[in-house]
Amino acid sequence: MQIREMNLKELYTVYDLLKELRESLSYDEFEDLIYDMRHMEYKMIGLLERGELVSYAGVAVQTNLYHKRHLYIFDLVTQKAFRSRGYGKMMMEYLCDYAKTAACENLVLSSVLQREEAHRFYEKEVFDKKSYLFVKAIEHSTF
């Protein structure tokens, strides 16, 4: 078992797993967004078992007024066939150590309402529900 930062040459591998979480995301859109997020030092962290990517986290160290310096977990997914085997816990432990090394005060993530299984995992990992996330789509007129 190995946990390491994935590189840009491994985007297809990352995408193959990430599409389990982001089903409507095309590969082209994924690739564009990964390059867009480089300015925030978005890191692609992979947990590999015998060379196969089984768990993935997309993270960035951020700072704001309410979470202070924190590690924001944008994406966290374990391959369906490997769930409930401890890989998510191993990834979370790694991310906690990563955050400590980066002098972060918190791990922060957002999760959609429909992911009850994930929510149970986060609660088991001692995450507190701190807020609601509100999103408003911006309508763009077409001329």
pLDDT tens digit sequence for 2-21: 999 999 999 999 999 999 98
Global pTM value? 0.85
CB of 75 within 8 A of CB of 91? Answer: no
Residue 113 has pLDDT above 60, yes or no: no
pLDDT in tens, 131-142: 767 787 888 877
- Judged by DSSP in three states, 123 sits in helix
With contact defined as beta carbons under 8 Å apart, do 48 and 94 qualify?
Answer: no
Q: Which domains does the chain have, with CATH numbers?
A: 2-124 (3.40.630.30)
Taking residue 118's Cβ as centre, other Cβ atoms within 10 Å add up to 18
**pLDDT tens profile 94-110:** 999 999 999 999 999 87
pLDDT of residue 134: 79
d(CA 6, CA 10): 6
